[in-house]
Structure 1
Amino acid sequence: MRDQVDSAGQERAHRRRLLFIPGYDPRSPAAYHRMWTEEAPRQAAVSGAVIAVGRKHADGDHALGWTVQTMMDGRAAETRVTLLRWDDLVRAWWLRGERRVIAAMPRWVGAMAGAGVYGLTRRSARALWLCLMTPPVILSALVGLMALVALAAGLAASWAAIPVAAAAPFAIVWLWRRIDSQVNCGWVSQCFSYMARIAADPPPEQAERCDLFARRLIAAVDEGWADEVVLAGFSLGGNQAVRALARALALRPDLGRGSTAVTLLTLGQGLCIQAALGDETFRGALKTVEAEHSIGWVDATSASDPASACTIHALHGVIDAPDPNRPLRRAPRFHKLLTDEHFRAIRRDPLAFHFQYLKATDLPDGYDWFALAAGPDFLIQRSPA
């Protein structure tokens, strides 16, 4: 590893470049900077660390940046965060209105079923299976309810069935909206719909953006400032990180073999689900990343996260006999890191559970996003090739 001492022989702060790709989220990236500034003091109070998050600033094309200074267990780190943006693409692909979300459901449900995802997750990722089942079950129940109401109206008076049937689609949308406000079934439907669409017909703008991300990764390594460059992908941002890293390796085959460590960090990922949908370009990217052992790979995915592949190996169905230590897993045990009340609250909301990876915990001595992303330790210890 790079020698972490200054010219006077004193140990200096660990230097990290963190390139972070958010998930399938139409919000401005300012929401993620705000999350850092709000959650850092909470985590510091729990862990006893010092975490100072700087102001956000534009950081080139499709990027937002800020710095993070930390002191943990008497050791310092300086992290330059670059959030790589694709929220503009998400907004362009986002299904507008409940009717479009509902109308798209048969396509993604059919794609998941045809790819064997329901069978796989029912056996090995129960939380995800329940999440996949929730939107179609809710919709089926609403349609069935409206059909029963129309039938009852028809039996009472044949003419009454006509206005009831006409009002049924509006009632279904209204009820869906009410349920969605409690369990975020619309959000998970958006994500699953995107995964199915992108596998069947990947738009060129996605490849172009991942090419930009790849070049930013190479530039961060070539800059020479950092001891470690981490490409982090949260949720479906993990898919983009894999694509970008594979592209970077095509442009720079010796990436990660120099004095600067390069590590892929995936959080709350569903990589094997995207691969199962028949996305051959993505499967090829996964194989490229798996084969390049000069690039470290750490994965933090909870077994109970309903919007992830849970305990299914990230390379399931892609590599015949995947290495159990690639990626190196650091599975968060949120039930032991949060108070009982807090954990029960996020269990009722898949979106809240999913974002817990990027938030403070209530209790110390476990998964710590700020130590992982901006702490004084390398994600994976290795010697330069």
Structure 2
Amino acid sequence: MAEAEAGQVRRRRVFYIPGYDPIHPRRYRELYRKEGAAQAEISGYGLELRPKAPGTGAYGWHVTGAIEGAEVEAEVEVLVWSDIVRQSMPGSIGATYLQMVKTAWIYISTGTLRRLMWMRKGPVIAALFPVGALILEALLAFAAGWILGALAAWGARAIWVPLGPFVFWPVLLVVGLLVLRWFKSKDGKIYAYYLMHDYAHSAGLRGAYPPELEVRMAEFRARIAAALEDDVDEVLVVGHSSGSYLAVTILADLIRAGVPAGGPALSFLSLGQVVPMVSFLPRAWRLRADLAYLSTRPELFWLDVTAPGDGCAFALCDPVAVSGVAPEGQRWPLAISAAFTQTLSPERWAELRWRFFRLHFQYLCAFDRPGDYDYFRITAGPQTLAARYTGRAPSKSRIDVPASKYTSVAP
């Protein structure tokens, strides 16, 4: 492990924790393959993917990087919880609307929504979007049903006057339901149902983790702990979006249990984090305690990367400080900006700036004007995360003022 101590990497294990995503993890392999090839061509290095070794069980891929004059082997593994995501998504339209009412009540009645807006309006607008979209869809469905129902009733009255009301209401209900079903079928472009399920899952227990997720996180922790016993130079945990706060708890529990002395460097990269959406809720005691604990630990290096151009993330908000749990001696995270307006060309930025969901994944993609953040150098390059970013100053525009109403770390 002498190379790891010197910040040099020849072999790396990467654990990627997705956000709230019901899709098969192969999408992340294909994203890495496509965007990695693009970044390699832009930046002039080599990147080769091949299937993971058979019999390893977990889903992932192998990467060989020829970067900065060195060759690095990396095993990338996706820590899958998409099955839990799918189970949390109600199938019926009515259940989704009930979910909307409950989630809105939780964020508004606890004062959390107002506190979140103090920091960044972008992610709050993103949270309000599915509410507005679902209400608009319901109004349009009702209007379509009313118009067609009125026309049908007019025709029925021409046959027999008392028949009008008996035709109006069934037509209104049937047409309204068909319109709502049509909107739901198009949600792959609108994302109203998807985002509603996402925020409802985060707020369902007012910040506490669901039991099935606790079980899965324990399994993830065990896999990462086993990797720390491997003959590798770095174990890198990447948490994206909602996966970032799952990673906080997983790593906090891992370090509490003890990590091997003289083992691989332990690194944590949080991308597009949405930690305040959960840590600001009243029962997020566990997450707040884990944030406070992890922020002081010397066993790891924690880099937090966001960008003001990402309207779905709490850009440059120190997740520990804004949650009101920053202890004396806080050392993590190092919060920096991916600076989309600088690291993407004007043409590329113009193409992507209104594609909010795509921008939320830009951290995992190629930049045509790369700065000091490069996902592929981090995951397949010859330096540990600490070696690459030690001495890097945090972004000056970061927000580190306590903003949460709830700061307790125990019931």
TM-score (norm 2): 0.80
133-142 vs 38-47, which deviates more? 133-142
Question: How far apart are 1:51 and its partner, in Å?
Answer: 0.9
Give 1:53's match in structure 2, choosing from 44, 49, 53: 49
Cα separation, partners in 2 of 1:183 and 1:29, compared to 1, 3 Å: same
Check the 8 A contact 1:15/1:77 in 2, yes or no.
yes
1:261 aligns with 2:265: yes
Q: Give the residue type in structure 1 aligned to 2:48.
A: A
Which range is displaced more, 344-353 or 232-241?
Answer: 344-353
CA contact (8 A) 1:15 1:78 kept: yes
CA distance in 2, matches of 1:42, 1:227: 27
* Structure 2: gaps of 5 or more residues: 155-163, 391-411
Aligned to 2:217: 210
Contact 1:272-1:318 within 8 A present in 2 as well = no
Q: 1:52 to 1:139 in 2, by over 3 A?
A: same
Counterpart pick for 1:172 among 176, 180, 192: 180
* Structure 1 CA distance for aligned equivalents of residues 91 and 109 of structure 2: 26
The aligned counterpart of 2:361 is: 355
Displacement of 1:343 in angstroms is 2.9
Change (3 A) 1:97 1:39: farther
Identify if the C-alpha distance between structure 1 residues 24 and 346 changes in structure 2 by more than 3 Å, giving closer, same or farther. same
Structure 1 residues 174 and 380: alpha-carbon distance in aligned structure 2, compared to 1, 3 A threshold: same
Most deviating of 154-163 and 264-273: 154-163
Return the offset for 1:362: 2.5
Q: Please state how far the C-alpha of 1:57 moved relative to its aligned partner.
A: 4.5
Q: Computing the radius of gyration over CA atoms, which structure comes out larger, 1 or 2?
A: 2
How many angstroms apart in 1 are the aligned matches of 2:105 and 2:363? 30
- 2:124 corresponds to which letter in structure 1? W
Task: After TM superposition, give the deviation of residue 370 of structure 1 in Å.
Answer: 0.5
Q: Which runs of 5+ in 1 are unaligned?
A: 6-10
Cα offsets for 1:71-100 (capped at 9, x unmatched):
223233222222222222222223335443
Distance verdict in 2 for CA 1:340–1:97, change over 3 Å: farther
Aligned pair partner of 1:87 in 50, 60, 82: 82
State the Cα distance separating 1:357 from its structure 2 match. Answer: 1.5
CA-CA distance at 1:65 after TM superposition: 3.2
SS in 2 for 1:38: helix
Alignment of 1:332-347 (within 5 A): 332-347=338-353
User: Take 1:115 and 1:235, find their aligned partners in 2: how far apart are those partners?
Assistant: 23
Partners of 1:375 and 1:59 lie apart in 2 by 26
Moved more, 156-165 or 180-189: 156-165
Mapping for residues 1-385 of structure 1, pairs under 5 Å: 2-3=2-3, 14-57=10-53, 60=56, 63-146=58-141, 159=165, 161-163=168-170, 165-166=172-173, 167-175=175-183, 177-178=185-186, 180-199=187-206, 202-223=209-230, 225-252=231-258, 255=259, 258-277=262-281, 278-315=283-320, 316-320=322-326, 326-381=332-387
Distance 1:256-1:187 versus aligned 2 partners, 3 A rule: farther
Distance 1:196 1:4 in 2: 40
Q: Is the 8 A contact 1:13 1:76 kept in 2?
A: no
| One-letter code aligned to 2:133 | I
